[in-house]
Amino acid sequence: MTSSSVLDLAPVVPVVVLEDADDAVPLARALVAGGLRAIEVTLRTAAALDAIEAIAAEVPDAVVGAGTVISARNVSDTVAAGARFLVSPGWTDTLLDAMRASGLPFLPGVSTTSEVVALLERGVTEMKFFPAEAAGGTAYLKALSAPLPRARFCPTGGISLASAPSYLSLPNVGCVGGSWMLPGDAVAARDWSRVERLAAGAAALRG
């Protein structure tokens, strides 16, 4: 699987923050049932690595990735847990080298034109645009498409069900990242049927 195929798995990649690893499998099953196979589990909690490992082992139809990857240690830990792609909020040469050496598809984070050009120089054409809304949103990405046509993005950060179609209509956007299909009250109540319904609505989005 290539980085490009991660962008093409679904129009929306759920950005998952889990406090309890026991919720990982039922949550992932609900997302997959709703049509969202690519799932980004962020390394923001102590449960994240266990959650990635559980999804990788027990939800074969999911393509589980690790988000908030910010160090070489994060890369090695998530690879060991079974992650199938990596996402970072930003990048350095050291982090980029570690992600590339992992052999997994990866989406390094960018928010400026210079960062995009620097990645293109290194042969990276698929990137995360973060924080999307704060960094200029659809207007910024549209402005990048003409001078930098090789760059392709997964915008993440502040995107909602209402704004996602505007991003997905852009020629340089493969998918968006978001968490609106994972409302806190539904996850807290373990209302996986609601999560599945919201995932289905996200999966139906097209540019």
User: Which of the residues are catalytic?
Assistant: 40, 128
Distance separating alpha carbons of residues 185 and 66, to the nearest angstrom: 23
The number of CA neighbours under 13 Å toward the Cβ of 99 is 30
Query: What is the distance between the terminal CA atoms of the chain, rounded to a whole angstrom?
Result: 23
Distance separating alpha carbons of residues 141 and 44, to the nearest angstrom: 27
- The pair of structure tokens assigned to 73 is 């240690």
| Cβ contact 50:21 at 8 Å | yes
Q: For strands 12-16 and 38-42, give the pairing.
A: parallel
Helix (H, G, I), strand (E, B) or coil at 12: strand
Residue 173 carries which DSSP code?
B
| Cβ contact 131:158 at 8 Å | yes
Q: Which residues pair with 41 in a beta bridge?
A: 16, 66
